[in-house]
Amino acid sequence: MKIGLRKKIEDDTEFKDAQKFGQEYEPKDDVDYDWVRSHASEEFRCGEARITAIEAKADSLIKYLGAGSGIVALLVATAPKWQVIPTLAFLLLALLMAITALTPSEHPMLPRTSTALKFADEFQGKKAVGSFAAKTATATAGMAIAARHKARRVQLAFWLFFLGMLWLVGYAAIRRR
């Protein structure tokens, strides 16, 4: 049974469309597909880099959340529970979202070299390169979907962190009066 991000990718219409395209695409004999293959690989690498950047943001947010939790701990001694509990809730939810964005998951991968060799054996010349590039496009679509899901979680975590800090600042401003 597939769970989590991998299931979301496989259930996504964009991925299914890319998969169908990769299975049905018929390359032409007289077309130079080398540049398409290079482009497909570069597009996939960009997807990987995007996920790496999103995960780095989630990791940074977790560090901020640690500092924010320290501030909350200091306030617990003087602030009423009605003030501290919402802040803790926002920070814990933010932490949960950031952690789920970092959770290791099965990302789509480029087709294996053994698959490329089978394509080279099954198709003739440039047709193999073109058909293989279509398969690479499927993996790239999956990477884009994974990045989108991770980005949503990180964005939600940042907003929850912001709300938690806003709650603290609001309390501090009211307390000074």
The overall average pLDDT reported for the chain is: 78
Q: What is the pLDDT of residues 89-129, one digit of tens each?
A: 888 888 888 887 777 666 677 776 667 767 776 777 777 78
Query: Taking Cα atoms as reference points, which of 119, 143, 117 lies closest to residue 40?
Result: 143
Say what the pLDDT of residue 1 is.
44
Q: What is the pLDDT of residues 125-135, one digit of tens each?
A: 777 788 888 88
Q: Which DSSP letter does residue 110 get?
A: P
Q: What is the pLDDT of residues 136-148, one digit of tens each?
A: 888 888 888 888 8
Range of the domain at 50: 4-176
| 3 state DSSP class of 31 | coil
What is the number of domains present in the chain? 1
* Confidence grade of residue 156 (pLDDT, cut at 50, 70, 90): very high
- Round to whole Å and give the CA distance between 53 and 45: 12
Query: Taking Cα atoms as reference points, which of 16, 1, 25, 30 lies closest to residue 108?
Result: 16
